[in-house]
Structure 1
């Protein structure tokens, strides 16, 4: 299920967004200020962020800058600021799109879907098959030679991040941020331990992996 974080200081807007997004099958969390939003992101990386600029504590652009230090999660700005300078600044800082208030809900949802598609979220290979291994990432079901394999929530989170970028390198820092949060960007030993566990469960020969590949000192990739 696609996870959307909506950040706005207007409770009525957050309520409207929650109702409409949930009605379309999204998993939604809301935050009324920038610090709360960053805390949620530290705990669980969303698939897309809807971000107001006029927040009561951190300005939305400041939140965006902090995000872009460690993640390229799609961000759709939703703001009452109509000036072109505000739009240019937000886009220059890494926003994927900019929608002004008052807004049309269907247009906003279309912008959100487009941002997710561009990031690879909707096109991610949620069912991954390699040899006798089958991973249903969305349902978190794994089998090997037809037998169920139990992965922990953290192991699934790693698999999900790699599956979204199937075949492409995911750097160590990015993977740590996505799974554990920005406070763990140097804890590369976490990755070694958890990737070893995943390989023991899923690889034919864990000492010579063919699915979960290490680029030494750089990162990891899922190859199928």
Structure 2
């Protein structure tokens, strides 16, 4: 069964048509790569799938339910899009615990487990405001995975990571694919795409190639 299906999706901002008649079908157990120049529409496409931006026309189906009609946001979706925003004077664990309490799907131990999975110490009292960019990126990925989502939408997940961090996150994503997840990523690093992705889509001027 299709996990995500986009049917004739269009999006414009003022006079600029950002996405043009996007049709796409994605299933479980795969990592999908989306490539294209800056401004090609990749991030807008991801925001539409997450329910953060409303398409002008077309349908977005998640697990057979229509986004914007049957639900406002996909239930089993974790996302990292653009720079993560956190409360700077709290620790990484305190930030994620605060977010986890919004839906109350996971407990403190599960929050800590997600933080460990990305290579951070959940017991550290260090404020996020004192984190390096790479540590903030890791915490953003922990936020995306912490509620055990069926779908992961990650916009440039390797941003600001050193070589060791990149390899750790690659292995984490490959593990999640083996667990049956549907994973969408963008990356400007061709090596990430080649190593991780089962299928690759290119977006040129809002058109899916």
Is the TM value for this pair above 0.5? Answer: no
> Scaled by the length of structure 1, what TM-score is found?
0.30
TM-score by length of 2: 0.31
Larger radius of gyration: 1
Structure with the largest fraction of strand: 2
